[in-house]
Amino acid sequence: MSATQAAAYAVADFDTIAPVPCPCGSARRAFLDVPGSPLSLHRTDISRDARTHFHKRLTEVYYVLECDADAALELDGKRVPVRPGMAVMIPPRVRHRAVGRMRVLVIGSPKFDPADEWEADDRPAANADS
């Protein structure tokens, strides 16, 4: 379970959420199991071999917690340098990947659906079932 629900709120402890592989590296995904939640929140550790991917329905906001000095997000082929404290909103269909080592919080709206993760060439992502 990714979140403990009590009354009208939910709490997530990322240290207790098991990481799952994703095109970016590994993600700890919270609030996926909260009925009616309009979003999900992931703490993602970006690997150096992050793959370009996109979502057809999901909007993501990447908030950079920590990163290498040369870290960037690649958005539809354009490199955008990032640093801790920055946030980048990525609308549906924008092909994206992180470049360099970083840890980010990713807010997904609507909440993340593994079936809505696509490789750059429009094939379902290899981790679509995770």
Phi, psi (rounded to 5 degrees) for 49: -105, 35
> Among residues of the chain, what percentage have pLDDT more than 90?
79
pLDDT digits (tens, 9 = 90+) for 58-88: 999 999 999 999 999 999 999 999 999 999 9
Residue 56 lies in a domain: yes
Residue 106 lies in a domain: yes
Please give the Cα distance from 84 to 102 (Å, whole number): 9
CATH number at residue 69: 2.60.120.10
Instruction: Report pTM.
Output: 0.88
Looking at residue 130, its pLDDT comes to 37
Residue 88 lies in a domain: yes
Average pLDDT, integer, range 30-56: 93
Looking at residue 121, its pLDDT comes to 86
